[in-house]
Amino acid sequence: MTLVPFDDRDGWIWLDGALVPWRDAKLHVLSHGLHYASGVFEGERAYAGTIFRLRDHTDRLHHSARVMGFDIPWSAEEIDAACAAVLTANGLSDGYVRPIAWRGSEALAVSAAGTSVHLAIAAWAWPSYFAGNRMEGIRLTMAEWRRPPPDTAPTAAKATGLYMIGTMSKMKAEAAGYADALMLDWRGRVSEATGANVFFVIDGELHTPDPDCFLDGITRRTVIRLAQKQQMKVIARPIEPEEIGRASEVFLAGTAAEVTAVREIGEHRFTPGRVTESLMQSYDALVRQGDAEVRQALS
């Protein structure tokens, strides 16, 4: 597959209040967000023309910005409408939507005083996050980098700066032939993959780490609800790496990754099975429902 560079595509991007031609959606190299990681973003997926749990993503975007000390000068209603407009303008009914907010180029110093806040929203087709069939199972290696404690980084925000350890970990994993890396947290407990949360099936129950120093994913919360509706016991708790070998099934959950089976983590092997398949199917069905049905299904 040839990758078309993102700055060499056609289409429309919403930038600070209006749709602009894709190629014109530029920012200055002296933008605060680039130098000091004063940026927050979202990753959303549209299915059959509707963005799944859009308002939850928009609320998280606003929340992430507040954690970082700035306000995005557009309301949730305006951002939701802009996301939908970007999809339509690009002729997409299924696709990935990326809103990003950052501090501008009026001032360039650690202090961001005097900078304005910008918002851009792009969308493109991104059929699958990992290559291959999601039920086949991907191979993960253990990351060398750990997720930082919540008093050293804004871990509850989807902040651009937090992705540097993810990118380093993912690049190293890919260079070694793996699809992704499983990260531990600063205490040495299992946390998440570089862009998705992780679930383990142990003795027929679903276990997932407490999201106390990483993103409590919207997909994670969706999957927990779907599992509970299927009368499954779901336990969010601290998980030690030594427990990984006790799992019969492992899967990742994230907006881009959706539900993806894992067949290998380091020395451990897993066979994607009934629980993963059932939750994958329920998730795939749910995301194609309208907003009201989704709310009802998750209530």
Residues of span 8-47 touching ligand PMP by CB under 6 A: 43
Chain residue at closest Cβ approach to ligand PMP:
217
* Cα–Cα–Cα angle for 294, 230, 278, rounded to 5 degrees: 85
Q: Would you say 90 or 219 has its CB closer to ligand PMP?
A: 219
219, 260, 276, 282: residue in contact with ligand PMP (rule CB under 6 A)? 219
Residue 163 CB, shortest distance to ligand PMP, in Å, is 7
Minimum CB separation of residue 272 from ligand PMP in Å reads 20
CB of residue 296 to ligand PMP, shortest distance in Å? 20
- The answer to the question of residue 155 lying near ligand PMP (CB under 6 A) is no
> Catalytic one among 158, 170, 172, 233?
158
Q: State the binding string over 165-184 for ligand PMP (x if CB under 6 A, else -).
A: -x------------------
What is d(CA 44, CA 92) in angstroms, rounded to the nearest whole number?
A: 13
196 interacts with ligand PMP by CB under 6 A: yes
Does residue 158 carry a catalytic annotation?
yes
Among 218, 239, 280, 287, binds ligand PMP (CB under 6 A): 218
189/220 with CB nearer ligand PMP: 220
Based on CB atoms, which residue is closest to ligand PMP, 137 or 166? 166
Draw the binding track, 248-277, toward ligand PMP (x: CB under 6 A; -: no contact): ------xx----------------------
Minimum CB distance to ligand PMP, residue 123 (Å): 15
Select from 19-27, 137-145, 195-203, 260-268 the region that touches ligand PMP (CB under 6 A): 195-203
DSSP string, the chain: -PPPPGGG--SEEEETTEEEEGGG----TT-HHHHH--EEE--EEEETTEETTHHHHHHHHHHHHHHTT---SS-HHHHHHHHHHHHHHTT-SSEEEEEEEEE-SS--SSS-TT--EEEEEEEE----SSSS-TTT-EEEEE-SS-BPPTTTS-TTS-BGGGHHHHHHHHHHHHHTT-SEEEEEBTTS-EEEESSSEEEEEETTEEEEE--SSS---HHHHHHHHHHHHTT--EEEE---GGGGGG-SEEEEEETTTEEEEEEEETTEE----HHHHHHHHHHHHHTTS-HHHHHHHH-
Residue 217 is a binding residue for ligand PMP (CB under 6 A): yes
Rounded Cα distance between 222 and 157, Å, is: 19
Q: Is the Cβ–Cβ distance between 293 and 272 less than 8 Å?
A: no
Closest to ligand PMP by CB, 112 vs 258, is: 258
Total of residues contacting ligand PMP (CB under 6 A): 14
The angle subtended at Cα 136 by Cα 53 and Cα 139, nearest 5°, is 90
Taking the least distance from each CB to ligand PMP, the nearer of 104 and 254 is 254
Amino acid symbol at 266: G
Beta bridge partners of 177: none
Is 97 among the residues that bind ligand PMP (CB under 6 A)?
no
* 112 vs 179 by CB, closer to ligand PMP: 179
Q: Which residues bind ligand PMP (CB under 6 A)?
A: 43, 166, 192, 195-197, 214-215, 217-220, 254-255
Residues marked active site are found at 158
